Every structure is written in structure tokens, then in C-alpha cells.
Structure 1
Amino acid sequence: MLNETYKRLLVVWAYKFNVLMQVILVAIIFIGASFLLGNGQFHPGQLTTLFIGYIVWLYARVLIPGISSDLTDEAQAGTLEQMYMSPAPAEVLLLGRIFAMLITSTILVLLTALGLVLLLHITLPLRWESIPVLILTLIGLCGFTLILGGATLVFKQTESMADLIQNMLMFLTGSLLPIDRFPVWLALIAKTLPITLGIDVLRRILQNGQSLSSVWNDWSLIWLIIHSSIYLCVGWVIFKWCEKIAKKQGTLSQY
């Protein structure tokens, strides 16, 4: 895991110009979305609401297509089977890669967040209570990423699906607009998605000043724990199932 993280950090440093371009791109998307949702103006309260959801979505933007691309590259290079020769289970190694992606994607998130805060003067109180909530949210996202990793083992080319999913999450998880403004049927669908509940709890803590005990007592935090645990377990099971299918078909290392 540490070696994988170190390798990815070296890649980030080697391609720092590309990282800078990504930071500029996601910053422009945020500014454009804020401008449109604010009817041509930047409203401080709305900026903070949007900022919290957008930062969480950035992790999804990196992780979801990232794991698909990683497995596809290994299949093309013919090195995917080597992962299965390791004493450690393949899904554990994959989670290690996802963890390494989380570390490197945090660099992108922090650079983007810092730039947007300085440029748009976004007010965001930093509270330690947000850290465990963010971790729980990312655990659920990792489980969801395992599902896509399993699909990549079977179908090989899933980049288009990954792009579709991460763009859908931007609009359907409350990243841009709180889900309490959604129609009831859409809000119910949104709450089943991997980062929706995490965004909602983070907004309660960072924007509304609620404590962990407060969001625990109203069941928001409890539901987040259950939700993320389900995604992690389901992701693990689906990955193993897809792995079994790929092995049975003899297409694990084929592309």
C-alpha cells in the first residue's frame, strides 16, 4: 500500500503540469455551476453549500474512472494475472490501490479547495467532526468503486460507464443542489447513491454547526454508517463474483 502510494505520488510530481490543468478545469466547472445556480451572481451561503458537495464529488471524479483505467491498463499490458499470484487477495490489493488513489486525489482536492476559497472568498469553518464523516463517506465510495472494478474484469472497457456514473453523481447526489430541493421520488433515489448521505451530514456539521452527537441522535450519522458498510460489503461480494466469472471464462488477462 505504501509502495503504491509512493509510486502514485511520483507520477503526480512527474506530471505536475497535468495536475495543474485538472485543478484549473474542476475550478472552472465549480465557478460556472455557482454562477448559473446563483442566477448570474455568487451568493456566499450558496457558495459554501455548493463547495462542500463539490469537494466530496471530486473524490468520486478521481476514484471511479481511476480504478477502471488501472485495471484496463494492466489487462492491456498482460500483467493483471500477476496481481492474482500475490499471497494477498486481489480485492485487498485493489483496496490498497484505491487507498493510494485517495491519498493522491486529496492533493487535487486540497489544491482546488484552496484556490476556490482564495478566489471566491468562500467561508468554511474547519471542524474536526467533519473528518470521521468524510472517512465514512469515502469508505462507501470505495465499496462502489469495487463494483466498477469487478465490472472491468468482466467487460474490460468500462471507461465510458465510469465517466457516465461520475457525471451522474455530480447532479444526483446533492453535490450541486441539496436533495431537500429535489422531488420526493428523486430524493429517494439520490439517498441510495454512495456520497449523498455523506454530503448531507457534512453540510449539517460544517455549515449548520451541528455536532456529531446531534447528527447521531437524528439518525443521519447512523444511516451513513449503515449505508457505507452496505456499499463496502456489496462491492466486495460483487467484485469476487465478477472475478469468478472472468476466471471461469478464461478472460482475466485478455483484453
Structure 2
Amino acid sequence: MSAPTVDDAAAADGAQPDERDAGVLLLVWTILRMNFLLMVRYRVNFVAQIVGMYLFFAVIFFGGQAAVENVGEGGIGSLGSTLDALIVGWFLWTMAQSAYFSLSGEVTQESRWGTLEQLYMSPYGFGTIMLTKVFVNMLLSLVMGGIMLALILLTTGRTLSLDVITVLPIAVLALLSVVGIGFVFAGLTLIYKKLGSVSQLMQFVILGLVAAPAAEFSVLNLLPITQGSAMLQEAMRNGVRLWEFSAVELAVLVGTAVVYFSIGYVVFQLCSHVARKRGVMGHY
């Protein structure tokens, strides 16, 4: 028997649609609050993540600047558009890593705590809870990306176009395709449990996708996050507005986001079914 959903619970107790909506909003608030409390409780880990990513960028930036000066090509100004491309790519990679790892991390954490099976008994349904977690994790990923971008811009002294109406939708749609990959590994984690080593390798795959030369090889735009990365570069470096992109570019961005997210979610649901059938859902 499948887990009850929000609609099933509402039908059982005669709840009205607005009451169901209020219940979902309460679920969003509860998960958001839980994530915030965990972030505060393990603040050293949260700060270490940001500092680690920042120091990694700083090594590349100052190392590149020193190399340019040593060959007599000037200072930071000589890096020009290359540096801007690096900043935008790093901004997106930071958010993508957070969105990807948070999903598989949620599954591992719930399994370790022994609360994973209890999510299936929730009146909201396991799928609704996981989608809500994805929404909350996306918000936190955007916050982390914003913090990283601010630190990098302060360090480099560069300025970029930060039109929220353009940058936010592109970033969210780009991240959705990565979330789809996260769903796949989260599902595999339900069955095979410890996949840390394999999962860690994905950060380099994501980095490669962010840096992929989509402008030179258009077929690469069909890969996860690649189209979003190319459009984000145009938006933040050249000031291109959302409505100035072609219909084809927007269609590919939305299409890849929907397709990869949907495939990932379907794989996750199939893996959860297999895990329950094998009786390993709550094992760690």
C-alpha cells in the first residue's frame, strides 16, 4: 500500500483546500526551521564549508594573479573576462554542490537517525516531504551562493551585473537539473547506503559541466546545468536580460531542468520502492 498523501488525509477529516495549503506551508516552515537549527547547531561545519570553498578560490585567484605579474603582463586587470567567467562559474558551482550534496545528505542523515521509515507514515506522504526538502535546500543553496559571491567580489574588486529578475530564474532552473542527479544518488543511497566516495566524485563532474564550452559545442547544452551556466555567464558578465535570450535558449534551459529533475525523481521513487521491498529502508 502506498503512503497516504496530503489529499488523502484531507479527505479523511473533511479538510478544505485552504486547510491543506496551510498544512503544506506549515511543512515548509517546519523543515526550513529544522535546517536553520541544524545549521546553527553545527555552525562550525557550515562556516568551514564556506571558508573551504573561498580559500580554494583564493588560491586560484592569487596564484593566477602572481603568474600574470611574473610574466610581465600586468596585474589583475590583465585577467579581465577570464576572471569574470571564473567568478560566475564558481558562484554556480558553489550552489550546485550545496543543492546536490544536501539531498543525499538528508537521506543519509534520516537513515542514521532511524527516522527515514517514519517519513512514510506522515500524512503528507514521503514524496511531498522530499520535494519540500528540495525546495528548502534550494533556498539555502542560493543563500550560500550569495555569501560566496559577495566574498569573491570583495576579494577581486570586480563588478558583475546582478539583475535578480534574470539571475534568480536562470540559477534556479540550472540547479534543478543538478537536483535531479542528487535524487538519483539519494535513491541509490536508500539501497546501497554508503556511497560517499562515489558521491564525492560528482563534485568534479558538476565542475566539468559548469565549465563546459557550450557555445562551441551546442550539443553540450543538453547536459545538466550546462545551458544554465552559459546563460548565467551572459547575464552576469554582459548584462543580458532574461527576455533578451532567444526562445530556443529559454526552451533548452526549462526543458533540461524539467527532464533531469523528473528523471531523477522517478529513479528516486523506484529506488525507495526497492529499498522497502528489500527491507533495508531504515538500515545504515
Q: Secondary structure at the match of 2:67?
A: coil
Shift of 1:12: 2.0
C-alpha spacing 1:247/1:15, structure 2 compared with 1 (3 Å): closer
Is 1:32 the counterpart of 2:62 in the alignment?
Answer: no
TM-score, length-normalised on structure 1?
0.87
Total equivalences in the alignment? 247
- Larger relative contact order, structure 1 or 2 (CA cutoff 8 Å, min sep 6): 1
1:201 equivalent in structure 2? 231
* One-letter code aligned to 1:8: N
Q: Which runs of 5+ in 2 are unaligned?
A: 1-27, 69-75
Residue 230 of structure 1 is aligned with which of 246, 259, 278? Answer: 259
Residue 143 of structure 1 is aligned with which of 161, 180, 198? Answer: 180
Is 1:109 the counterpart of 2:138 in the alignment?
Answer: no
What's the % identity of the aligned pairs?
25
2:106 equivalent in structure 1? 70
Residue 242 of structure 2 is aligned with which of 199, 208, 212? Answer: 212
Once residues 21 and 40 of structure 1 are traced to their aligned partners in structure 2, the CA distance between those partners, rounded to angstroms, is 28
Q: Which has the larger radius of gyration?
A: 2
Q: Secondary structure at the match of 2:60?
A: helix
TM-score, length-normalised on structure 2?
0.79
1:12 equivalent in structure 2? 39
1:57/1:195 contact within 8 Å kept: no
* One-letter code aligned to 1:132: P
* One-letter code aligned to 2:37: L
2:274 equivalent in structure 1? 245
Counterparts of 1:86-125 in structure 2 under 5 Å?
A: 86-125=122-161
* CA-to-aligned-CA distance 1:177-212 (integer Å, 9 cap, x gap): 64447xx5xx74x54442111110111122123232
* Aligned-residue RMSD, C-alpha: 2.2
* CA-to-aligned-CA distance 1:110-138 (integer Å, 9 cap, x gap): 22211111111121111122221112112
Once residues 87 and 60 of structure 1 are traced to their aligned partners in structure 2, the CA distance between those partners, rounded to angstroms, is 31
1:254 equivalent in structure 2? 283
C-alpha spacing 1:35/1:180, structure 2 compared with 1 (3 Å): farther
1:64/1:148 contact within 8 Å kept: no
Shift of 1:223: 0.4
C-alpha spacing 1:160/1:109, structure 2 compared with 1 (3 Å): same
1:69/1:159 contact within 8 Å kept: no
Once residues 140 and 239 of structure 2 are traced to their aligned partners in structure 1, the CA distance between those partners, rounded to angstroms, is 29
Shift of 1:214: 3.0
C-alpha spacing 1:134/1:35, structure 2 compared with 1 (3 Å): same
Once residues 125 and 203 of structure 2 are traced to their aligned partners in structure 1, the CA distance between those partners, rounded to angstroms, is 27
2:190/2:271 contact within 8 Å kept: yes
